[in-house]
Structure 1
Amino acid sequence: MSKPDPRKQNGHRRRQTRARILARDTHCALCGQWIDKTLTTIPGQHGPKCTGQTPNHQPCPGCIPHPHRAEVDEDIPVSRGGSPHSLDNCALMHRQCNQWKSNQTLAEAQQQLTTQNTQHTTATPQQTTTRINW
């Protein structure tokens, strides 16, 4: 039997931690770029299960998460024993930076970026996915 996800065990505490991190941080912990906290989804783009309507029968504005939206990430991942409730272990990141970091610690991910950049590669988390041209 699998262990329950600690991020969902104490929802109130996680929501408090998330609110504090959103209020405290303004830049991505990995790439260092500013994060627009108003971004949620990509307008007009829908997932495969989208019916085109919200539950209250309004048109769906878009349900694909924006790659630059704000996400709270754990420096030491929960999968490696980190706490999802500790303010010292949590930081703000772009969604795509968080996905790129995966289950690495922040230091490991930053080291990997440094290694890539010294090998004359220009790939950063901000460049690993397709940017949206508005």
Structure 2
Amino acid sequence: MTTLIIKDETASGNILNEIRIKVENERTTLKDIITARVLTEVQVYNSSKPEYFKGLIQPSDTEKTLNGFRVKKRKSIDGEQQVYVALDAFMRNGFFVIVDDEQITDYDQEILVSSETKISFLKLTPLVGG
């Protein structure tokens, strides 16, 4: 079992969030990493149900704020649904994943990981304007 540190970064390199996940094998896929990340975030939230969910994907029935996603009714979040939305968002270029300075474009691509592997998620923010 390997523990990986995943960082959410802006395009300019600012770190917005950091999460630790565990993967079972040193050979894994990006799909497995995304799944482990999302399920870990959901588990952390569901164990205490704080006012804000800090995660990759905005759950339904939440409001986006500077502190994360404000959960209107502090109910459990469906991890399976969050994984589905996250994988769909990746396929639609809603975020990019960089592993050891290389962008991964196929979530089925096999990746060799160790505790030293650097993984960054870059989430695109839409421009606001008229």
TM-score between the two structures when normalised by the length of structure 2: 0.28
Name the larger-Rg structure. 1
TM-score between the two structures when normalised by the length of structure 1: 0.28
Structure with higher strand content: 2
